[in-house]
Structure 1
Amino acid sequence: MATRNPTPAYQDRGSVLSGDKELYARIGKIAEGEGGKTLVEDFEIPIRSGKAWVVKKGTICKLSTPRGPQVGDLNIWSLHNPREHFWASRTKQLHASHVSVGDRLWSCLPYMRPLCTIVADSLKDYGVDEVGGRCHDLLGTRCDPYVNKLLSGDDFDYQCHSNLVRAILPYGLAESDVHDVINVFQVTGLNKEGKYFMEASPAKPSDYFTFFAETDLLCAMSTCPGGDLSVYGWGEVSAKRMLDTCRPLGVAVYELQGKEEVLRGWKESERPAYKGMHGLKIPVFGQ
C-alpha cells in the first residue's frame, strides 16, 4: 500500500517564502564559479573552537570543510539588534527539517524576516539515505556542557554551546544570546520510533554551504567536538575518542562584483506589516 504524503502546513504563496528565484540563481552561479566576487575575509576555525564574524547585507558567506568531514553549529543575529536572531523551529516549518539551496534562515518574533538565503550547497544532492537521514540539520540543536554533565557526570568545556559563548564575547554578547543552531554538514533524522539520530558527515575536502545576507549579520560557528560524528558519545572518554574525527572549518565572505546588475530588484529584508497590538486596547484617559 502506498504511503500517504500529507500536504505541507506552510505553503509558499508566490515568492513570499522563497523570494526571487531568478535573483538567487544569479547569485548562486557567482557563488559556485571562480569570478564575479571579491574576497573580503577568509579564515579557518580550529577544532573544538568557535569564532564570530560579520557578514554585511548583499554579500555572500561560504562555509566549507577544507580538510574533510566536520560538523559546524551556526548561530546568526541581526548585527544591529542581537534580540533578532535565527529561529530554527519556524525555519523548519516554513521550509524543511533539513535545508539547502533556495531555503532561507528566518529570524525570531517579533521580527520574522529572512536573515539569509542559501544559494549554493555542494551536498544538495545528498537527498534521503537508506535510513532516512538528510543533511544540514534543523531537527536538533547544539551540544552543551549541561546535558553532558547530566548524562555522563563529567565537565567538558568545549561543547558547541560553550564554543559559541566564547566566540561572541568580543561582540558584547553573553551565554543567554546563544540560540538554537543550524547544524551544517550534519546528517540526522528521526527513526521509526520518532527518536533523533545522527550519522557520519558525508562532507569531503572543500565541500561548501553558501548563503546570501539579506541584512547585516553577526554569525558565529562552532567546530563540533564530535568532529564528523562517525564516533559519538558523552563524557571524557568519548571526548578523547572523538578527537581523531575533528577537523577545522573554513569561512569566506565575498563582495559581489557588479552588484547593481546582479542584485537588480533586491532590497534588504523587512518585517511583516503586522501592527503588533495582540488584541490589546489603549485606554482612553479618564475612563
Structure 2
Amino acid sequence: MLRAFGSIKSSGHCPAAQKQSTSASQPLGLGLRRWHHASSIKDLCQAASLVGCCTFVHAHCLSNAWSAEIIRFSVHVTAGLLLQRRILRCLCRFIGYHEITLSTHGQQRPLALRAAVAEEPLQLAPVTDVQTCEAYKGAAVEVQKGQYLKVINTYGTQVVDFWAMSTRTAKGRLLREIMSMHHSHDEIGKLIPQVGDTMVTSQMRPILTLMEDTGPGVHDTLVAACSHELYEKILGIGPEDPHDSCTNNLHTALAKLDWHLTDDPKYHLTPGPFNLWMNVPFHSNKESGKLPGWWAPPADGQKPGDFVVFRAEMDCVCVMSCCPSEDISQINGPEGTKSAQYQVLQAF
C-alpha cells in the first residue's frame, strides 16, 4: 500500500497544541479532505484505536458518486498524543491529500503537514494478463472503480499518450466525460502530476490517482496528441498519405471496444493527453521557431521496465498510444518508436 508519512505542527496559535499532557483528554474535531475510499473510515478507526484514540464519536461522510469525499469525524484524544508521530503516521496512511484542520472550542486552526512517500510497493493481484500496445499503434482497456492500471515503458524511452474517459456517464456508447489535464492543473496545483495526485474530469470529478511511478517522474500535460494534420504541416505529406498518429490511434482503439467520443465519424474530438515519459523542457519563451524544438529526447534516469500505476476513482476506459513521431522528433530516443505494455490489477 502506498503510505504517506510526515510530521505535523500547529500553524498560528492553537490552544489545543499548547497542552502536552497525556493524562488529560479533551474532544477535538478533525477535518480530513479528499479521501479515496469510503472504507477508510473503518480503517482509520482501527488504526486510531491502536495508538490511543479513546472513543470514536461521530463519522459523517458528505459524499456523492462523482465528487471527492469530505469526511468529518470527532475523537476524544489528548492534544499531546495528536501531535505525536505515531498517531500521525496512522492518520497520514489514509489521507490522499494532506490537508488537516484542528477544531477546538468552536474554532478551526490549520495544521501544517510535511509528508513524503515511503518506498513500499502496492500489493496488487492481476485482473488481466500483461498486454502489449504495439509500436505506432494504440490500445484501450476498461478499468472498474477501485482497480489499478499499470502502464509499462518496456524499453524505457517510449512516449505513451494516455487518456481516460468515464464510462458511467456515457450516453449509450458515446463518452461524454473525459480526464482533463487543464482541470487537473487546477485540482493539483502543478503542471506534472506526481505520486499521490488525483486527475479530474472536465466536471472536476476524480477519475485517476497516480499511485506509483518508478521513473524520474518526467511527463507532459501540455502538448497535444500528434495528428495527421500535424504531419501534413511539418512533413508535407498529403491528406491521403498513410501516417500513424496518436489522434487516430485514440479513436481506433476506442472503436474496437465500441466506444466513441463523437457521433460524427468525420469529426474527431481529441482531448489533451497525459503524455507519459515525454520530456518537454519549460522555457519562459519559445526558443525555437518550430514546434519540435520544444520536444527533447528522453530524460536522464529513464530505464527499461519503468512503470506508472493509476487507481481508477470511477469506472472508465483508458487509452494508450505509442507515439509514432520519430520522423519529426527524438522524443522516443534514437531507436525510434517502440511498443509498451499494460495490465489491469486489483488490491489483495
Compute the TM-score of the two structures, normalised by the length of structure 2.
0.57
Say what the alpha-carbon RMSD is for the aligned residues. Answer: 3.1
Q: Distance in 1 between matches of 2:125 and 2:163?
A: 24
Structure 1 residue identity aligned to 2:187: L
Structure 2 residue identity aligned to 1:77: M
Q: Distance in 2 between matches of 1:159 and 1:242?
A: 18
The 8 Å contact of residues 183 and 204 in structure 2, kept in 1 or not, is answered as: no
Q: Distance in 2 between matches of 1:146 and 1:167?
A: 19
**In the alignment, structure 1 residue 22 sits paired with structure 2 residue 93:** yes
How far does the alpha carbon of each residue in 1:69-102 deviate from its partner, in whole angstroms, 9 at most, with x for none?
A: 1000011100232101111111123321111201
SS in 2 for 1:176: coil
The 8 Å contact of residues 68 and 205 in structure 1, kept in 2 or not, is answered as: yes
CA shift for structure 1 position 251: 0.4
Map of 2:342 onto structure 1 = 251
Q: Distance in 2 between matches of 1:102 and 1:83?
A: 26
C-alpha change, 1:121 and 1:229, in structure 2 (3 Å) is: farther
**In the alignment, structure 1 residue 97 sits paired with structure 2 residue 191:** yes
**In the alignment, structure 1 residue 142 sits paired with structure 2 residue 209:** no
C-alpha change, 1:256 and 1:15, in structure 2 (3 Å) is: same
SS in 2 for 1:62: strand
The 8 Å contact of residues 167 and 317 in structure 2, kept in 1 or not, is answered as: yes
Unpaired stretches in structure 2, ≥5 consecutive residues: 1-30, 37-67, 69-90, 97-116, 262-266
Q: Distance in 2 between matches of 1:182 and 1:31?
A: 25
Unpaired stretches in structure 1, ≥5 consecutive residues: 1-12, 127-134, 233-240, 258-287
Alignment of 1:1-287 (within 5 A): 15-16=33-34, 22-23=93-94, 32-33=121-122, 36-41=123-128, 42-80=130-168, 81=170, 82-95=175-188, 96-108=190-202, 111-123=203-215, 125-126=216-217, 135-154=218-237, 155-170=241-256, 171-174=258-261, 176-194=268-286, 197-202=294-299, 203-226=302-325, 231=330, 244-257=335-348
Structure 2 residue identity aligned to 1:94: E
Structure 1 residue identity aligned to 2:93: E
The 8 Å contact of residues 131 and 343 in structure 2, kept in 1 or not, is answered as: yes
How far does the alpha carbon of each residue in 1:24-52 deviate from its partner, in whole angstroms, 9 at most, with x for none?
A: 78xx989835xx32211120101000011
Larger radius of gyration: 2
Q: Distance in 2 between matches of 1:14 and 1:100?
A: 20
C-alpha change, 1:24 and 1:68, in structure 2 (3 Å) is: farther
The 8 Å contact of residues 121 and 210 in structure 1, kept in 2 or not, is answered as: yes
How far does the alpha carbon of each residue in 1:141-198 deviate from its partner, in whole angstroms, 9 at most, with x for none?
A: 2111112212332144311111112111122315635311000111113323146722
Compute the TM-score of the two structures, normalised by the length of structure 1.
0.68
The 8 Å contact of residues 61 and 254 in structure 1, kept in 2 or not, is answered as: yes
Structure 2 residue identity aligned to 1:50: G
SS in 1 for 2:157: coil
CA shift for structure 1 position 139: 1.5
The 8 Å contact of residues 31 and 210 in structure 1, kept in 2 or not, is answered as: no
The 8 Å contact of residues 87 and 107 in structure 1, kept in 2 or not, is answered as: yes
SS in 1 for 2:342: strand
Identity %: 22
Structure 1 residue identity aligned to 2:182: S
How far does the alpha carbon of each residue in 1:203-256 deviate from its partner, in whole angstroms, 9 at most, with x for none?
A: 311101111100111011100013699726xxxxxxxx9883221111011111
C-alpha change, 1:140 and 1:254, in structure 2 (3 Å) is: same
The 8 Å contact of residues 296 and 330 in structure 2, kept in 1 or not, is answered as: no
- Matched length: 222
Question: RCO (CA 8 Å, sep 6+): is it higher in 1 or 2?
Answer: 1
